Amino acid sequence: YYSFSGDARDQSGNGNDGVVVGAVPVTGRRGAPDQAFAFNGSNTLVELPAPPFINDTYTYSLWVRPTMTTRTAQTLISVGNT
């Protein structure tokens, strides 16, 4: 799992660390510092490795707090090369 404590390290101990690209650590939803990331909407992301699971079923979960609205689509999760 990823606690996003200022980075994208895999906290499960499995070594599936992510890479933060341009996103900035910010205060999380419960008020703890560096427990979330701010994205600019165009060139920031957290890249995670391909899931090394035995089966093809898994779950992604995220909290989103937009600071502005746009009329263009924004990708929240992308899996693979899509």
Q: Taking the CA atoms of the chain, what radius of gyration do you get in angstroms?
A: 14
What local confidence, expressed as pLDDT, does residue 14 receive? 83
Question: At residue 51, does pLDDT exceed 70?
Answer: no
Helices (H) and strands (E) in the chain, counts: 0, 4
CA dihedral 44, 49, 55, 61 (to 10 degrees): -30
C-alpha to C-alpha distances, 61 to 57, 71, 72, 79, 81, nearest whole angstrom: 14, 24, 22, 13, 20
Q: How much is the pTM?
A: 0.72
